[in-house]
Amino acid sequence: MHQYRTHSCDALRITDAGKIARLSGWVHRKRDHGNLLFIDLRDNFGITQCVVDSSNSEFQKIDDLRLESVVCVTGKILRRSDETINATLSTGEVELIISDAEVLAEADPLPLQVNSDMDYGEETRLRYRFLDLRRDRLHQNIQLRSEVVSSIRRRMTEQGFTEFQTPILTSTSPEGARDFLVPSRIHPGNFYALPQAPQQFKQLIMVAGFDRYFQIAPCFRDEDARADRSPGEFYQLDVEMSFVTQDDVFEALEPVLHGIFVEFGEGKSVTPIPFPRIPFAESMLKYGNDKPDLRNPIVMTDVTNVWSGTDFKIFSSAIEKGAVVRAIPAPGADKMPRSFFDKLNDWAREEGAGGLGYIIFSDGEGKGPISKFLDTERMEQLKKLTGIADDGAVFFVCDIEAEACRFGGLARDRIGAELNLIQEDQFKFCWIVDYPMYERDERTGRLIFSHNPFSMPQGGLEALESDDPLKIKAYQYDIVCNGVELSSGAIRNHLPAIMYKAFSLAGYNKEEVELRFSGMLNALKFGAPPHGGSAPGIDRMVMLLAGEQNIREVTMFPMTQQAQDLMMGAPAPVDSERLEELHIRISMPPTKET
């Protein structure tokens, strides 16, 4: 018989009755009846009830065990009597009658209860992460994550992609986020950087002729955390392909994403292939942002013309100064009480907007404080534009375009949630395409790259030379699911001439570009294939699939919001000898005076 176990704690069934079995696991729960003791023994796979009574010499040893101690028990498998069957356990028709028991490891009293689904404070959970991970919910989430990653690997490989590793110690990249730096011992005063993403490497892999690359890639960015953003590190399904158009990238990724979400989505419906493609400008107009939650059926429209020149001066004079009015149709809102509209108005004020104007339609007639400013003709136009004609309400946001989009988007989310319009049982995917290549930096007035400086501008060199830079679009795209940005990607700029020109518009001269991107540029000068790719976030995909609101719930060993690992005690000071070796001297920030 095996030293530790003949079966897992999820293996025994009624057909095993009569056998001698050996199980090892954690003491999940004890039910002590004095002379009869039940132990729920748990391992990775499940739970089996084990029984011992006081006539057994092992009784006292087991009776003394605290919860979460590790024990190996051996004994006969018995069919339970009909009244004692536990239908909630897969092993509930049998139990193990303990004849021998060996304590493999004793547990101290627990700082958090493993056998409970109670909410615990984040600090306790992170400090004792190994205990939290034993608990069902987190255990399942991490298991799911592993299965998702395996399935991604299989699906990518089947589509002809090849997995490669790229360096973790690399050079600092001038664009994007703050780098994590690693001091060089051999080169005093010089630093490696951890990759923010394997962006340049994957392009170099294409230049090297490997055609289709993917990697479950760790990415490191020294930026502040959010609920959906780990501090420090996260993982991407990093993808790059040669000789492809934007549509080829979409067609390669859609079946993988669709397949994953069908496989692990537990019956929720998934947007059929091909996913809708929504131009950036259209998304901003209709949804107020570039990561629309399409489970919300509300679509905004521009109704500036409806309000222009009316006697409602708040809107009409703002329009004269360049503001726009966006309508947020709210089907069914005519049935809501007055407090619903007041609450939304209060919320709008808290968000810094002037308020949230509205017109209520019931039986085809417009009512509400501002409806009197619209004559019949304008009212008809409004009904036509918003699709709200007989029953419902229309909310209005009036501001300069960017602010109207932003706030309208928030209001759309809010109203959709309040009216229970969100289709919770769905995964709604879309591509956002045609991002602008450049935007104006509001503080400096300078032209900056909107997204990736390595993206190919639509229209190529000609567009860069003759068009208004702010009108140039890039072959740059995001994939969005249920309002979560999963990835961004692009067809890359593989031509040095276009790269020099693209950077010069953003204020970098040829020398600077060569200095900063020598590796990349050099490679492009020796025959680079047209190529492009994307990089969906693994953590966020698993978050969506697990139905979690927080990325720490799908991360095995996360750090706190302040980027500390409470379990391992990182970051931590190091010995002065280590610092000397690295040619580093600490310069502490001044301590605050009180």
Partner RNA sequence: GGGGGUGUAGCUCAGCUGGUUAGAGCGCUGGCCUGUCACGCCAGAGGUCGCGGGUUCGAGUCCCGUCACUCCCGCCA
The yes or no reply on residue 126 touching RNA (CB under 7 A) is yes
The yes or no reply on residue 120 touching RNA (CB under 7 A) is yes
Pick from 88, 376, 444, 466 the residue near RNA by CB under 7 A: 88
Pick from 223, 320, 380, 581 the residue near RNA by CB under 7 A: 223
Q: Which is nearer to RNA, 289 or 371 (CB)?
A: 289
The yes or no reply on residue 570 touching RNA (CB under 7 A) is no
How many whole angstroms separate alpha carbon 554 and alpha carbon 573? Answer: 29
Which 8-state DSSP code applies to residue 571?
Answer: S
Q: Which is nearer to RNA, 186 or 586 (CB)?
A: 586
Q: Rounded to whole angstroms, what are the CA distances from 38 to 13, 32, 79, 367?
A: 18, 6, 15, 68
The yes or no reply on residue 114 touching RNA (CB under 7 A) is no
Q: Is the dihedral of CA 259, 265, 267, 268 positive or negative?
A: negative
How many whole angstroms separate alpha carbon 335 and alpha carbon 462? Answer: 55
Q: Which is nearer to RNA, 370 or 448 (CB)?
A: 448
Q: Which is nearer to RNA, 89 or 149 (CB)?
A: 89
Pick from 105, 119, 363, 445 the residue near RNA by CB under 7 A: 119
Residues in the chain: 594
Instruction: Pick out residues in 523-552 that bind RNA (CB under 7 A).
Output: 550, 552
- Which amino acid is it at 416? G
Least distance from RNA to the Cβ atom of residue 232, Å: 11
The site for RNA, by CB under 7 A, has a size of 70
Contacts made by residues 180-189, CB under 8 angstroms, sequence distance 24+: 180/220, 180/221, 180/222, 180/232, 183/582, 183/583, 183/584, 184/582, 185/581, 185/582, 185/583, 188/583, 189/583
Least distance from RNA to the Cβ atom of residue 356, Å: 19
Pick from 3, 55, 444, 466 the residue near RNA by CB under 7 A: 55
Least distance from RNA to the Cβ atom of residue 107, Å: 9
The yes or no reply on residue 238 touching RNA (CB under 7 A) is no
The yes or no reply on residue 84 touching RNA (CB under 7 A) is yes
Q: Which is nearer to RNA, 211 or 565 (CB)?
A: 565
Instruction: Take residue 216 and report the two structure tokens written for it.
Output: 């479950």
Pick from 360, 490, 546, 554 the residue near RNA by CB under 7 A: 490
Q: Which region among 5-13, 46-54, 266-274, 357-365 touches RNA (by CB under 7 A)? A: 46-54
Are 525 and 483 a contacting pair, CB within 8 Å?
no
How many whole angstroms separate alpha carbon 397 and alpha carbon 403? Answer: 9
Pick from 488, 496, 520, 539 the residue near RNA by CB under 7 A: 488
- Residue among 541, 44, 556 nearest 265 (CA): 541
How many whole angstroms separate alpha carbon 456 and alpha carbon 469? Answer: 13
Reported as type and span, the H/E element at residue 446 is: none
Pairing of strands 438-440, 212-221: unpaired
Q: Which region among 161-169, 265-273, 335-343, 560-568 touches RNA (by CB under 7 A)? A: 560-568
The yes or no reply on residue 109 touching RNA (CB under 7 A) is yes
How many whole angstroms separate alpha carbon 25 and alpha carbon 43? Answer: 5
Q: Which region among 84-92, 252-260, 330-338, 567-575 touches RNA (by CB under 7 A)? A: 84-92
How many whole angstroms separate alpha carbon 358 and alpha carbon 375? Answer: 15
The yes or no reply on residue 175 touching RNA (CB under 7 A) is yes
**Which residues of the shown chain bind RNA in the complex (CB under 7 A)?**
29-36, 38, 40, 49, 51, 53-55, 66-67, 80-81, 83-86, 88-89, 92, 95, 109-113, 116, 118-124, 126, 175-178, 196-197, 199, 221, 223-229, 451-452, 454, 488, 490, 550, 552, 560-562, 564, 566, 592, 594
